[in-house]
């Protein structure tokens, strides 16, 4: 199968951080829409190309220590990699725990848009989602012309 809009997130992340471990190890045309678990000594996260839209990367379950600086470092790594991989936007989801430090409250000053909290009826949790426009300059031929055989 020829693949004209490849999911390049792992390729870009490994170029930036060769120590990156992931499951799956590589992205192919058979698993490009599946979730990806990434791990570095200083962070871990779950990523997924939004099903049905290769322009959006979703990120969740980000673990990067208990400081705002650590979370921002992880988010910068994810968003910079997403930009280089050709994604146009990143979406995060976050449970709003009562009486807990909410690291994501500082994200609007960095360009993120936070939704109004809503209830997940399956868990009862209050949740928000955050979106970031990666401000792609337009069509990037060097990305769109990459083709994989899978």
Q: Mean pLDDT across the chain, nearest whole number?
A: 88
| Total domains present in the chain | 1
Residue 90 resides in a domain? yes
Q: How far is CA 85 from CA 6, 55, 100, 107, 114, in A?
A: 9, 10, 33, 22, 24
CATH of the domain at 93: 3.40.630.30
Q: What is the pLDDT of residues 86-142, one digit of tens each?
A: 999 999 988 887 766 677 778 889 999 999 989 999 999 999 999 999 999 988 877
Residue 148 resides in a domain? no
pLDDT at 1 over 50: no
Residue 57 resides in a domain? yes
Mean of pLDDT values over 22-49: 93
Three-class DSSP labels, the chain: CEECCCCCHHHHHHHHCCCCEEECCCCCCCCCCCCEEEEECCEEEEEEECCCCCCEEEEEEEECCCCHHHHHHHHHHHHHHHHHCCCCEEEEEEECCCCCCCHHHHHHHHCCEECCCEECCCCCCEEEEEEEECCCCCCCHHHHCCCEEC
Report the pLDDT value the prediction gives residue 144, as an integer from 0 to 100: 66
Residue 83 resides in a domain? yes
The domain of 77 spans 2-137
Residue 145 resides in a domain? no
pLDDT at 148 over 70: no
Percent of the chain with pLDDT over 90: 59
Going 56 to 83 to 64 to 26, the CA torsion angle's sign is: positive
Percent of the chain with pLDDT over 70: 89
Residue 84 resides in a domain? yes
Residue 117 resides in a domain? yes
What global pTM score does this model have? 0.88
Residue 142 resides in a domain? no
């Amino acid at each position: 199968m020829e693949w004209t809009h490849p999911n390049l997130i792992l390729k870009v992340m490994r170029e930036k951080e060769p120590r990156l471990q992931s499951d799956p190890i590589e992205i192919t045309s058979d698993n490009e829409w599946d979730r990806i678990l990434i791990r570095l000594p200083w962070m871990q996260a779950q990523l997924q190309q939004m099903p049905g839209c290769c322009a959006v990367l979703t990120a969740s379950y980000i673990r990067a220590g208990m400081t705002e600086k650590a979370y921002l470092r992880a988010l910068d790594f994810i968003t910079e990699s997403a930009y280089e991989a050709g994604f146009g936007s990143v979406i995060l989801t976050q449970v709003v725990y009562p009486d807990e430090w909410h690291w994501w409250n500082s994200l609007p000053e960095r360009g993120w848009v936070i939704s109004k909290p809503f209830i997940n009826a399956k868990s009862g949790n209050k949740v928000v989602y955050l979106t970031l426009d990666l401000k792609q300059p337009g069509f990037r031929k060097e990305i769109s012309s990459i083709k994989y055989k899978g």
